[in-house]
Amino acid sequence: MRVVRARGEGAFAGAALASLAGALAARPDLALTLPTGGTPQGLYRELAAAQRRGAVSLERATVFMLDEYLDLAAYPEGSFLAYLREHLGEVVFNDATRFIPLEPSDDPARLAAYDRALDEAGGLDLAVVGVGRNGHVGFNEPHSPLAARTRVVELSEDTLEANFPGVDRARRPRRAVTVGLADLVGARAVLMLIAGEGKAGVARRLLLEGGPDPSVPATHLLGHRSLTVVVEASLLD
């Protein structure tokens, strides 16, 4: 495991970009996941700037969505698809990059089709993941099975509080679809990004204690043979 302790948003985004750019330079036709949330926003700004100056390109890559809410009344409003369009724009949504959407559907045939697309790509070359306060990756909540693939999950109260602060319970989605731990653990490389409010506990659990623990799903990635963790250094102070 390679751990990069980056202090401050600029350093964090720069370290994450350096790792992603290195992977793309080694293999421009990567199949990868890109996460949502607050954590990668700086990375995506840097990535857009780097792509504009020709330093990096996702044009030969295949981007898989990591997760998506179900039951959003005004889909795509508030969805992860909308997030990715907003934060990645031309970097991914252009004529060249292959983008594989994870549709907000609980139809088993559609979920199986997503797994088939992952298999046809030869699995993930790079799983870029954020980490939830409770240690979830994608929407693999605590006690998700290691063998799980793309499926519907019930969101935990912790996650709903973190992602929908101040939003009426009735207006929060209760379910999501997510790529499973099997695909993330099975990726050829993993880039884990840890930053943000309320993450000190999970950062310390992952980086100072280690060891797999089903109640903290991100710990399943700790033994990965090619894991890079970029962590906001102040979380470990």
For the chain, how are helix, strand and coil distributed in percent, rounded to 5? Answer: 40, 20, 45
By the rule CB under 6 A, 173 interacts with ligand GLP: no
Instruction: CB nearer to ligand GLP: give 57 or 114.
Output: 114
Instruction: Examine the residue annotation and report whether 134 is marked as an active-site residue of this protein.
Output: yes
Instruction: Examine the residue annotation and report whether 86 is marked as an active-site residue of this protein.
Output: no
Instruction: Examine the residue annotation and report whether 220 is marked as an active-site residue of this protein.
Output: no
Q: How many residues bind ligand GLP (CB under 6 A)?
A: 14
**Radius of gyration over every alpha carbon of the chain, rounded to an integer in angstroms:** 17
User: 107 vs 75, 163, 195, CA distance in Å?
Assistant: 17, 25, 34
Contact between residue 230 and residue 11 where contact means Cβ atoms under 8 Å apart: no
Judged by CB under 6 A, the residue of 42, 135, 138, 217 near ligand GLP is 138
Instruction: CB nearer to ligand GLP: give 24 or 179.
Output: 179
**191-220 positions binding ligand GLP, by CB under 6 A:** 196
User: 133 vs 78, 158, 194, 216, 230, CA distance in Å?
Assistant: 20, 8, 10, 10, 16
Instruction: CB nearer to ligand GLP: give 57 or 118.
Output: 118
Smallest distance, ligand GLP to C-beta of residue 7, A = 18
Smallest distance, ligand GLP to C-beta of residue 234, A = 15
Smallest distance, ligand GLP to C-beta of residue 53, A = 26
Binding segment toward ligand GLP, per CB under 6 A, in 32-40, 54-62, 89-97, 145-153? 32-40
Q: What is the CA angle 91-185-26, rounded to 5?
A: 45
Question: How many CA atoms, within 13 angstroms, populate the side-chain half-sphere of residue 195?
Answer: 27
- Residue 16: count other Cβ atoms within 10 Å of its Cβ: 26
Point out the residues that are catalytic: 67, 134, 136, 141
